[in-house]
Every structure is written in structure tokens, then in C-alpha cells.
Amino acid sequence: MDKIGEYSDLIKAFALQYGLKLIGAIVVWIIGSWVIKLILGGLRRVLDKNKTDSSLKPFLSSIAGALLKVMLVISVLGMLGIEMTSFIAILGAAGLAVGMALSGTLQNFAGGVMILIFKPYKVGDLITAQGHTGVVKEIQIFVTILLTPENKTVYIPNGPLANNDVTNFTVEGKIRVDLSFGIDYSASIKDAKDVLIKVMNNHSKVLQDPAPFVGVTELGDNSVNLAVRPHCKPEHYWDVYFDIYENGKVALDAANISIPFPQLDLHVKKDL
């Protein structure tokens, strides 16, 4: 009976010592979870009010939620009497080891954060980066997905994108299409320019501001080379590119302005 009494006293002492802490920890967990939901709800409303990019809102909410929950867990464990100094030290060492092992991935993660915050491009933009040109299909936290004119899907890590040059053709709302036509030396430059200007003016997707331009760029070995410069919206680039080349060739042929092919003249001298 004495042993039973001793065990009973020990259980009572344990319950008094840790029971209140456990109840307090549970209460703090419930209240803390409720407060976190309120904070995250407020954060989402602020992001919506400021018209934050839709791809950035879930990322910021998830990061804020993770940080708040980690703080709550640490607080609850501290209330239970767990020594947090050693726990935090172990957690920090593990984080450092994981960070070193995943340095490239973390660089892409940081690059994704920078892209989502500073927005050098957005979904739907036509860009050139890392040797690839295409329309931004999706911006993920580690990679950006491009759809190229050849209908190829390209995955580019966000780390290099955030730290290197990116050319965005969509920001200004218009893009110049660089074309080149060669005409025979015997042809009239003025007539050729008039024909090509008319072809561009008749195209529905060629913008009139800036106005289409044609100018001589080179007196080549076999032809007078003309620079043809229409402007269009970025999404119409390839339509204008192919149409002006085709329609320009047809119009020059109709005007009897020949496009010469490479040729070589040989002069033979006879010995007397």
C-alpha cells in the first residue's frame, strides 16, 4: 500500500508540474493558430487591395504562414520546458548543412523571389534570356517556363534569370521587325522603297507609329541591300516577319524589280 501511495504521489506531482504546462501549451497553440489565420487573412486582403500580382500572393502567404507557425511551435515547446537553445542550435546546424547541399536550388529560389517582387517580366511577355526567345508561360518559384516560336517548352532556372540580362519585348507594347531585301544594281531604289512601304502600310498588323521605314544599308557584292523596318505588337511579330518577306517578294516581282542571286563575273585575257 505504501508503494501505491508513493506512485500516486508521484503521479500527482507530475500532473501538477507538467499538467498545467501542457494545458497552457494547448491553449497557446489553439489561440496562436487562430491569430495566425487572422494575420494571413489580413495579409491576403492587403495584397488584394494593392493589386499584387496573382503569382506572388500565394507565395508570400505561404512564406508568412510557415514563419509564423515555426514561431508558434518554438513558443509551445518552450512552455513545455524543452530547452530551446540546444534545439535552435541543432536546427540551425541542420539548416546550414541542407543549405550547402542545396546551394544551387536556394539560388534559384532567391531568384524566383526577386523576379516575383521586381517583375522584370510577367506571364504573357515575349522575352529573350539565356539564349532562348519565347513567351513566358509560367513563373514558378524555381524556374521560368518559356514557350518558343517552335512550340518548344523551355525551363530556365530563376537564379541565372535574376542575375543576368533579360530582354523584354512586351514592356513598350511594340517591337521592330528587322528585315532585309536585296535589289539589282540596275533597279530604281526609289521604286523599290515605294513598293515595300506600300506592302507594310497594307498589312493590318503593322503599326503606323512609328511609321514603316526602308533605307539602304549596304552596297553588296551582288545587290543593293535595303533595311525594311516595320513595327508591330510583340504577339504579331512572326506574322509580320513572314508576311512582309512573302508579300514584299511578290510586290517586287510585280513591279519588275529583280532580287539578284549571287554571281561571279570572269574576265579572261588572251596572251598575244
Residue 102's pLDDT is 47
pLDDT at 243 over 50: yes
Name the segment(s) of the chain with CATH classification 1.10.287.1260: 2-101
Average pLDDT in the 222-235 region? 92
Is 259 in contact with 181 (CB distance < 8 Å)? yes
Name the segment(s) of the chain with CATH classification 3.30.70.100: 175-254
Least confident piece of the model among 7-11, 99-103, 258-262: 99-103
Residue 111's pLDDT is 83
Q: Can you read off the three cell numbers belonging to residue 239? A: 506574322
Taking the mean position of all CA atoms in its chain, how far away is CA 252? 41
Residue 232's pLDDT is 93
Does residue 210 sit in helix, strand or coil? coil
**Residue 17: pLDDT band by 50, 70, 90 thresholds?**
low
pLDDT in tens, 50-103: 766 665 666 667 777 777 887 878 777 777 666 666 666 666 666 656 555 445
Is 32 in contact with 78 (CB distance < 8 Å)? no
Residue 213's pLDDT is 94
pLDDT at 24 over 80: no
Q: What is the DSSP secondary structure assignment for residue 19, as one 8-state letter?
A: I
Residues 6+ apart with CB under 8 A from 124: 135, 136, 170
pLDDT cut 70: percent of the chain above it: 76
What CATH architecture is 121-168? Roll (2.30)
Backbone angles phi, psi at 26, to 5 degrees: -65, -45
pLDDT in tens, 94-153: 665 655 544 566 788 788 878 877 888 888 888 999 889 888 988 877 888 999 888 899
Say which CATH class 175-254 falls into: alpha beta
Say which CATH class 2-101 falls into: mainly alpha
Name the segment(s) of the chain with CATH classification 2.30.30.60: 121-168
- How confident is the prediction for the chain on average, in pLDDT? 81
Residue 5's pLDDT is 55
User: Cell 517586287 sits at which residue?
Assistant: 252
Dist. CA 225–CA 189, nearest whole Å: 10
pLDDT cut 90: percent of the chain above it: 27
Average pLDDT in the 6-23 region? 63
Dist. CA 132–CA 109, nearest whole Å: 21
